[in-house]
Structure 1
Amino acid sequence: MLGQLGQGDGYMHLPAEVNPQQLTDLLSDRYGAPRTLVLDGFTDPTADESSGAALLVPFEGRAVTIRAWAYGNQWVGTGTARDAEGVVRPVLAVTRRTLPEPLATAPGEEPDWLRRLLQITGWTQPAQRPGVDWAEVESRLGLDLPSDYKRMVETFGEGAFDGYLGLNQEPWSHWREEGLLAWAGTEHEDTYCWRIDGDDPDRWPVLVRSFDGEDLVFACGTAEFVCRILVDRHHPYTMARYFDTHWFLSYRDA
């Protein structure tokens, strides 16, 4: 059905026998947790262009329940809406997704890399894990953790950037004897770590250990590293060659 709609803007009313919840579940399995734009006929007042509100335009106020997913350069939406005769029917819609350039900073200004990451991914969901007990995690590890990593986990929760770079919900310590803590990994078995270097975790460099055991070090923090691999086409681990628009695939239950 999505193939019929193509890559542009489009929508369709589906046959009445299509189960809207099953369709939502199917898309959630593919695209992760959705954002609810309309529930029981009430539109989320915060819905705007950055969260897929364009999906609602063709329904002209007749949407009953619409949930949306950001995926690459598209918004995908499904749910129910009234047709021209007022009958509530399952619907499917797609629209183009564009994002502004990452926030610029003034000379000498310290960038807020998490804020940039939110803009790059178009993330508008509420914080997914605001109550993480970092004191307990850090006590168990015997180390303080980088502050931007903790903000990333609290903000995004469990999932993967571009459906590819999986964010660990707490660092893996299986290479601790080598002075490494792993904070993310990819389906290609590259592991993203910090090299424990000094008492200030916010100054720990990122080390990427590839599947063949090769290490490459980057003198930047966690959020900055993710921003750079998403948008910098010349970065050794860039994802910008594969996607023009970026997103976070949430594994949270829909």
Structure 2
Amino acid sequence: MELTQATVSDLLAQLGPWDGYMYLPGDLDPHDLTDRLSGRYGAPRTLVLDGFTDPTLGESRGSALLQPFGERAVTIRAWAWGDRWVGTGTARDGEDIVRPVLVVAQREMPEPLAVAADQDVDWMERLIRITGWTHPARRPDVDWAEMESRLGTALPRDYTRMVETFGEGAFDGFLTLHQEPWTWRREDGLLSWAGTEHKDLYCWRAEGDDPDRWPVVVRSFDGEELSFDCQAAEFVCRILVDPYHPYTMARFFDTHWFMNYGEAD
């Protein structure tokens, strides 16, 4: 079976928008299918490897993908993509033959929590919940002391947690998280921590001794600036879920995820 991105799209369309699975021809290379899905959805999570299921697997980590196969799953890797789980790998069919498979399942998205004015919120935990993030920390060993020494400033803690947790990638496949602040607007007092494909820069106004109190500044592609009195993680949460935010992504995406560009688990 010749595999192209168009072929993959056709197969996914055959499965429909909700729960579905199919066994694929034996001459299809399951690694090729995994690579092509990774090109669309980022790094996958391994649910089953050589017949052994991840012991931490649960509903929030894609267990619905294994229901059609039971104990017949051999290797299954999965992606969280909006309100859908997508999985591929190999499983034994009714004649006990190991064959490539493609499977999809509905993904339950947690509702963002309302926040009272006097509520102390861990915005990183809320961001993890909004995106349905289930992977282990992608970059837990970043040498922040070396980076901060090189930059000449400490960095906001919520930003360092974002990089450690999510690693290299983009929220909703659109808002790219810089792995190190960009300094090319430093003469304007700005450090950029993220950007979009529309060439908007999401920055801090790096003034004062406490980085955790730096406001977020959006520098748009046409040079206009708009400031927000909040931290980076709170800003991302709000643009993901608030359809009335000036830089909302909620009007374009009903559910939210982080596309990781790194290696698979």
The TM-score range, normalised by the shorter chain, is over 0.9
1:241 aligns with 2:251: yes
Aligned match of 1:87: 97
Question: How far apart, CA to CA, are the structure 2 residues paired with 1:123 and 1:179?
Answer: 33
Question: How far apart, CA to CA, are the structure 2 residues paired with 1:53 and 1:146?
Answer: 35
CA contact (8 A) 1:98 1:245 kept: no
In structure 2, stretches of 5+ residues that fail to align are: 1-10
String of CA shifts for 1:79-123, please: whole Å, max 9, x gaps: 000011111000000111122223456773310000000000111
Aligned counterpart for 2:261 among listed residues 234, 244, 251? 251
In structure 1, stretches of 5+ residues that fail to align are: none
String of CA shifts for 1:208-234, please: whole Å, max 9, x gaps: 111111111111001000000111111
Matched residue SS, 2:68: helix
CA RMSD across the alignment: 1.1
String of CA shifts for 1:49-89, please: whole Å, max 9, x gaps: 11111011111221000000011111100000001111100
Aligned counterpart for 1:42 among listed residues 37, 46, 52? 52
Aligned counterpart for 1:153 among listed residues 157, 163, 166? 163
Matched residue SS, 1:111: coil
**Normalised by the size of structure 1, how large is the TM-score?**
0.97
Aligned counterpart for 1:59 among listed residues 59, 69, 73? 69
1:10 aligns with 2:20: yes
Question: How far apart, CA to CA, are the structure 2 residues paired with 1:152 and 1:253?
Answer: 17
String of CA shifts for 1:123-181, please: whole Å, max 9, x gaps: 11111111111111111111110000000000110000000000000100001010000
Deviation at 1:48, TM superposition (A): 1.1
Aligned counterpart for 1:25 among listed residues 35, 44, 48? 35
**Normalised by the size of structure 2, how large is the TM-score?**
0.93
Question: How far apart, CA to CA, are the structure 2 residues paired with 1:209 and 1:95?
Answer: 39
Aligned match of 1:141: 151
Question: How far apart, CA to CA, are the structure 1 residues paired with 2:127 and 2:57?
Answer: 20
Matched residue SS, 1:66: strand
Deviation at 1:245, TM superposition (A): 1.1
Aligned structure 1 segments of 4 or more residues deviating by more than 2 angstroms: 102-109
Aligned match of 1:225: 235
User: What percentage of residue pairs aligned between the two structures are identical?
Assistant: 71
Question: How far apart, CA to CA, are the structure 1 residues paired with 2:136 and 2:177?
Answer: 17
CA contact (8 A) 1:182 1:191 kept: yes
Tell me: CA distance 1:209–1:107, structure 2 relative to 1, closer, same or farther (3 Å): closer
Question: How far apart, CA to CA, are the structure 2 residues paired with 1:106 and 1:211?
Answer: 34
